[in-house]
Amino acid sequence: MDKKGMFLALANVLRKHAKGLELREKLIGSQAKGAKEQLHLYGKKKVSLMNLPARQIYIAGVVMQKNFVGFYSMPMYSHPKKLTLKHPLLKKMRKGKSCVNVTILDKAMLKELDGHVQKGIEVYKKEKWV
């Protein structure tokens, strides 16, 4: 699958789980220059965490980068024990606490990331963040 195909497949995962949530084609508050193709999933309600002003909670996003497709997951960052990657290639492509630099994507990896988004939403619902 080429990079565009990977982006579309991952964007479709976000669309699949968007019921009751909000999809955006730009990151809230982004000052980034240039127009990278992207899609982000947010909760609709505003929540205040760690004494910060209330805002919509970021769940996941997909951004077309130069050499990879960035898959971003805040539940992976905020709840690392509940959301782990099992596929060896996904583990290898993980960068930092919330990002996977997807350079290859097969059906098993796509299925795992789909389940990952679903579980992240469930975790955030239990926290009453979305």
Per-residue confidence (pLDDT) for residue 26, from 0 to 100: 81
Per-residue confidence (pLDDT) for residue 34, from 0 to 100: 65
Asked if 78 contacts 59 with a C-beta cutoff of 8 angstroms, the reply is no
Q: How far is CA 30 from CA 35, 39, 52, 81, 114, in A?
A: 11, 13, 18, 29, 25
Say which amino acid occupies 19. K
Section 89-97 average pLDDT: 94
What pTM, to 2 d.p., does this model score?
A: 0.90
Confidence tier at 64 by pLDDT (50, 70, 90) = very high
The residue with tokens 């565009």 is 4
Q: Does residue 96 carry a pLDDT above 80?
A: yes
Q: Does residue 119 carry a pLDDT above 90?
A: yes
Q: Does residue 35 carry a pLDDT above 80?
A: no
User: What is the three-class DSSP state of 16?
Assistant: helix
Q: Does residue 27 carry a pLDDT above 80?
A: no
